[in-house]
Amino acid sequence: MSASPEGSVILPRAPRRQFLFLQGPPGPFFSALAGAVAKRGAGVHRINLSGGDRYDWTQGATNYRGRMRDWPIFFDRYVRRHGVTDLVVYGDCRPMHQAAMRMAKLRGLHVYVFEEGYIRPNWMTLERDGVNGHSPFFREAHSLLEGARWLPPVPDQPAITADFKRRARDSYWHYHHVVTGRLLLRFPFYRSHRQGSIMLDGIGWALKFLRARRRRRQAEAVEQALPGQRYFLFPLQLTGDYQIRAHSPFGSMPVAVEYVLDSFAVHAPGDAVLLVKEHPLDSGFRNWRRFLRGKARALGIEDRVLHIDGGDLQALSTDSVGMVCVNSTSGTLGLATGKPVIVLGDAVYNIPGITHQGGLDQFWSSPEPPDPALYEAFKRSLYARCLVRGGLASVSAMRILVENSVERLFADTGATGLGRQDVGSSPALSR
C-alpha cells in the first residue's frame, strides 16, 4: 500500500485471476466456458490429459503425456509457473483430478467442481471443493429451515432443450480420440477413469440400438401391467459411476441389486412388487432382464420383480409406493411428489426428515414420507448454493449453462467458498 502525491492512500490492485481447466464433460462446454471467463478479463489455462481432451479444447493448451506418478509434481510446477488461482474440473473422483485437487489445496487455490445436476433436468452442479459424497453442503434440518427463510422460491422457468443425439455424438468423438490418442502415442500413458472397455461399450450400444424396438415393446407391456399394483421403484445406476464406486458400500450395481432383492424377498409385504428400471445410458452389455430373473427365481419372488428398460421415470415415481436408490438423483423426483425415498449410499439429499432413516428392511412395510416444508427448504438452499441452470445436450442449453456458470464463478470472491458461504448471501436463483 502506498500514498499518492496528494497524500491519499492507493489500495493495491487485486491480482488477476488465473483459471486452470482440467477434464470436462465430453463436448465443447469447458472450451466455451473458458472463452467466457477470458472475456471477463481473467487468464485461462488448460492441461490436456487425453486425446479426447485435446479434441474438445479449441484453444491453446499444454498436453501432459507423462505417467500418473509424475503428475502431482508436474501439476504443482505448472500452477506456480502460471500463477494459477482457480482450478476447474468435472468430477472429483477421477484419479488425476483427485491428485490435482489435493495439490491445489496445498497452494491455496480455489477449486470448482462441476457434475451432473443434483436435480434434473435443466440444472448442473457447481460446488467448491467437492460434489456428491464430498459436497460441503450442510445437511442439518434446523439450519436448512433457517437459511431458506431468506431465499426466494425456486423459479418456475421453461424447460431447457435437450437432444440425446448431440450428447451421444459428443461422447463418441471424445472417446474415439481417447483411443486414437493412445494408439498414436500422443498420450501413451493415459488411462481413463471409466471402468471396462470403451470398445466393448461401443459394441453394447450398437446391440442396444438394434434391440430398440423389442425393448420398447417390453417396456409397454410392463407399463400396461402396472395399474392397480402396489410397487416400489428401484432405478438402476451405472456400475462404473463413481456414485457407486466411491460413494456407496457396494462397489458395483449388481451387488446393490442383490442386496435390495434379498431384503425385498424377506421383508416386503406379499402384495408388493419391485419395479427395477434400467438406466437410460446403460450400454446394454449386461442383460439386466436375465440377471434379475435369475436372482428373483432363486429367492422365490420371480412373479413380484419386474424389469423395465424405458418408460417415463417421473410418471413411474409418482405412481409408486416409494423409491429405493443407492444415491441416484432420480430420488428427488419421488421426493418432489411426497413419495418415501430410501438412500443406500451417500447422497446430498439424504437428510433426516427428507429420506427414510429406518433401514431398508423396515422401509418395505413402514416407509417414511418426506416433510414437505423441509424438502422445500432443502431445494431452495440447493438451487442457491450448488446448481447452475443449463445443460449439455443442445446449443441453447450450453449457452445458458456457460452464462450462469461464469456468473457463479465470478460471484465467488474467494472470501468464502460456494459450498460454505451463508445461504442468505448466495447468488440469486434467477440467474
The CA distance from 429 to 431, in Å, is: 6
Contact of 389 with 400, CB cutoff 8 Å: yes
8 versus 296: the higher-pLDDT residue is 296
Length of the chain: 431
Q: Name the band, by pLDDT with cuts 50, 70 and 90, for residue 203.
A: low
- Report pLDDT for 180: 93
Which strands make up the sheet holding 230-235, listed edge to edge?
305-308, 272-277, 230-235, 322-325, 341-343
- Report pLDDT for 429: 27
Q: Name the band, by pLDDT with cuts 50, 70 and 90, for residue 14.
A: low
What ranges do the domains of the chain cover?
14-162+386-423, 211-377
Helices 198-210 and 164-183, axial angle in degrees (round to 10): 150
- Report pLDDT for 426: 32
- For 391-428, the pLDDT digits (tens) are 998 999 999 999 999 999 999 755 333 333 333 333 33
- Report pLDDT for 422: 34
359 versus 204: the higher-pLDDT residue is 359
- Report pLDDT for 428: 30
8 versus 30: the higher-pLDDT residue is 30
- For 297-356, the pLDDT digits (tens) are 999 999 999 999 988 899 999 999 999 999 999 999 999 999 999 999 999 999 999 999
According to DSSP, the residues that pair with 115 across neighbouring strands are 125
pLDDT above 80: residue 215? no
Helices 141-148 and 372-385, axial angle in degrees (round to 10): 70
- Report pLDDT for 219: 77
Within this chain, domains 14-162+386-423 and 211-377 share the same CATH topology:
yes
The CA distance from 56 to 50, in Å, is: 10
CA atoms within 13 A on the CB side of 98: 9
- Report pLDDT for 206: 66
Return the percentage of the chain with pLDDT > 90, whole number: 65
Out of 30-44, 199-213, 368-382, least confident range: 199-213
Amino acid at 408: R
State how far the alpha carbon of 140 is from the alpha carbons of 135, 347, 350, 387, in Å. Answer: 14, 14, 10, 19
Residue closest to 19 by CA, chosen among 45, 40, 39: 45
- Report pLDDT for 225: 86
Tell me what the mean pLDDT of segment 40-44 comes to.
Answer: 96
CATH superfamily of 211-377: Glycogen Phosphorylase B; (3.40.50.2000)
pTM summary value: 0.85
Average pLDDT, the chain: 88
- Report pLDDT for 346: 93
- For 50-103, the pLDDT digits (tens) are 999 999 998 899 999 999 999 999 999 999 999 999 999 999 999 999 999 999
Give the CATH number of domain 14-162+386-423: 3.40.50
Return the percentage of the chain with pLDDT > 70, whole number: 87
* DSSP string of 309-371, one letter each residue: SSS-HHHHHHHSSEEEESS-TTHHHHHHTT--EEESS--TT--BTTB--S-HHHHTTSPPPPP
